[in-house]
Structure 1
């Protein structure tokens, strides 16, 4: 068993420990309070109340220590309460918590924008604007593209997830729970087929030609302001497009003066083994949206892109009261320092190798696992009825429930709810990760 320093308290033991059923009595009591005061529409995957977290574990109010394979949906990449994040946040909170950058600016905002210009793909001149959430970043990227091009149409893809605002719900593919009953949605959003190698069997070039054909015939290149794509799908099932798909789309966008927006909100900041998923094939988007892992658990998002595009919007057209909050910016600078200093892209690749080796063995033993895919510490398995492409969400839910009962936090996703996504914090130890996949293996055996 290893330990990590937990700022402000004793070391948090890095172990899986169950002292009650999951959820325990203290969590169950708090769930009653949640039921009384929190809207039912705010769902919970694993109903335990957390009191501390760090390294690779979550400690609940009953004293159970759970292994974390979710990172708060790819947010705590550098771990919870990362030393450098906590230090910078504490210093900034003591100095000031808010002025609104649009009223009186401060260095932290500019510092984050400088880091984004350096880290995002491409060596061209770049500028950024900061926001609160991934959905805000995507929506503002669309605003920028529309002003810059003078066009209206937005192209997105099957299985996409881009957020929960009105525009980003329109851009998101999955109805339940994200869109159901919330329409009407924003217009001028068009959907093209995504490269999904497990299901379509197409090469990247073939899949791109299919998508481009739909765009040209159903929308028209001269009407398209932007193509918005997750380089690796998030909620849609961690689908990695076939090699060549993204470069072909990027080439088409350049030829037709269409803004290519890479939604790197879940895949960015070291998660895939590169700083950004686009780096894998050398794709350089015009705009990149970021959030989640950028700030070690605090709410921050950004749009970074070509300076000429970013400057096309009139003064006052971008912003928001809390966008680029000084404490969130301090957290981001701390998280980026941790990512650099600890070579977290390299750590993500090592975590990915460990997860892939365990999942390959599991796939060989359980034919319900139809596909294993992902890059770095963004790995997934898709469950289908053996010998078919028919999704098996029932088995997926059963396996996940078993893992939860045994103290391992797992997340599912995918259009059909039949995909496990594995997103451990990069601060997790190899031993703890190995133990978590022992439990995953037990879950498949127990639900066979």
Structure 2
């Protein structure tokens, strides 16, 4: 795979990307990180959590270098943000050039071409060949919230249907739409009105036979919409094509297409939240593509900005134009530096064929995860698509969630220089989101560390 090793010399003084191998020089976190973390604790609210308290000196490719000189293998990508690496040459160069021109004017005051170019790219890349328009924002939560605003304006209906295990953000509306209470909602109520929740077909945990999960989940959703809410009151159904924070849950075949069919039959807009799944992550440009779904509105962020804050809502032109002038926007919406970064990220994704690379990552990793599932009693399920993969940890011999096991395995990985994340409604899922530019040797090394961490946990007495 192309890497960023020559970026420093080629890009006018940019820092050269780190050596692409795992190096553990100190305990993790090391002494300098520990010292800096104490400073953080004295000045930053405890409301910000941290997965691994190390301070980063530089990053690129599949490596994060901390201030103690440890080279950590990155299986997090800043929560699916740095899919093209944390210092992709095309992103760095475009950001450098843009910052020299100007950093901000506010697109609602004076216009600039980067905003238009990103919108044109999203209109081209997102599913469907119908006329589309795009609005740019800053965060994923903003994108979801504005998609709901657009849907309500276009349909003149108030209600929104969301799903079990969903995550859509931390604002008042998107927090309401999010399913998990702790840490996202606890103590922050009362919540926004007119948000209704339906079951999501979670194959591993679906009661009875998982083969019927899609059909049964659709039946439950239809009943809620038709008999409890009223279909003529529902503006939108908002769905993650693969659920992210909820545990990397892949819906069974037929569910998304059934959802789309039902929505269209009742004049309800289908909104796809592709904030974590979008831009090659799942082995398709968008996860909707795995079932040929064409949403009315699609929300994107994370990998779109290549590390800079940028989000978008792209949708059918007549829906996007339903909002009158001034109804959408934000001071930083579509910031010119973030737009420049996005153009570099999209260029990298397309030119380096990172859609295919995500499929290769799945082909390398999934067989070993399935072997781990067969041999380790704490691994209840493995799942995912492309470079969005996960294992669910359980009490041996049961399907009972084991969040303490997930926490222990993650800590072992961190100590050995591999950054992994824990997620899931029950806090028992280890998720893997490597940069799509990670090389095979580094990826396989990280996987070996994960395998060892799982097996070491199993042989430790008294931990299950």
- Using the size of structure 2 for normalisation, the TM-score is 0.95
User: How far 1:203 sits from its partner (Å)?
Assistant: 4.0
> Is 1:322–2:341 an aligned residue pair?
no
Structure 1 residues 11 and 149, CA gap change in structure 2 (3 angstroms): closer
Matches within 5 A, 1:7-406: 7=8, 8-200=14-206, 201=210, 202-406=212-416
User: How far 1:3 sits from its partner (Å)?
Assistant: 7.2
Q: Does structure 2 retain, via aligned residues, the 8 Å contact 1:88–1:331?
A: yes
Moved more, 314-323 or 360-369: 360-369
User: How far 1:204 sits from its partner (Å)?
Assistant: 2.2
Secondary structure of 1:51's aligned partner: strand
Give the Cα separation in 2 of the matches to 1:270 and 1:226.
25
User: How far 1:216 sits from its partner (Å)?
Assistant: 1.8
Secondary structure of 1:447's aligned partner: helix
Secondary structure of 1:288's aligned partner: strand
Moved over 6 A (4+): none
Q: Does structure 2 retain, via aligned residues, the 8 Å contact 1:121–1:285?
A: yes
Give the Cα separation in 2 of the matches to 1:441 and 1:389.
20
- Using the size of structure 1 for normalisation, the TM-score is 0.98
Give the Cα separation in 1 of the matches to 2:417 and 2:358.
23
Secondary structure of 1:294's aligned partner: helix
Q: Does structure 2 retain, via aligned residues, the 8 Å contact 1:212–1:249?
A: no
Q: 2:438 aligns with which of 422, 428, 432?
A: 428
Q: Does structure 1 retain, via aligned residues, the 8 Å contact 2:127–2:288?
A: yes
Give the Cα separation in 2 of the matches to 1:98 and 1:50.
27
Q: Does structure 1 retain, via aligned residues, the 8 Å contact 2:17–2:59?
A: no
Give the Cα separation in 2 of the matches to 1:79 and 1:10.
13
Unpaired runs of at least 5, structure 1: none
User: How far 1:205 sits from its partner (Å)?
Assistant: 2.8
Secondary structure of 1:443's aligned partner: helix
User: How far 1:445 sits from its partner (Å)?
Assistant: 1.5
Q: Deviations over 1:289-334 (max 9, x none)?
A: 0000001100000000000000000110000000000000000001
Q: Does structure 1 retain, via aligned residues, the 8 Å contact 2:4–2:60?
A: no
User: How far 1:5 sits from its partner (Å)?
Assistant: 3.0
Give the Cα separation in 1 of the matches to 2:214 and 2:383.
15
Q: Does structure 1 retain, via aligned residues, the 8 Å contact 2:4–2:16?
A: no
Secondary structure of 2:389's aligned partner: strand
Structure 1 residues 12 and 191, CA gap change in structure 2 (3 angstroms): same
Aligned length, in residue pairs: 448
Q: Deviations over 1:383-433 (max 9, x none)?
A: 111232210111111101100011000101000000111100011111001
Q: Does structure 1 retain, via aligned residues, the 8 Å contact 2:4–2:89?
A: no
Q: Does structure 2 retain, via aligned residues, the 8 Å contact 1:367–1:386?
A: yes
Give the Cα separation in 2 of the matches to 1:73 and 1:6.
24
Give the Cα separation in 2 of the matches to 1:296 and 1:230.
21
User: How far 1:6 sits from its partner (Å)?
Assistant: 4.3
Give the Cα separation in 1 of the matches to 2:363 and 2:229.
41
Secondary structure of 1:182's aligned partner: coil
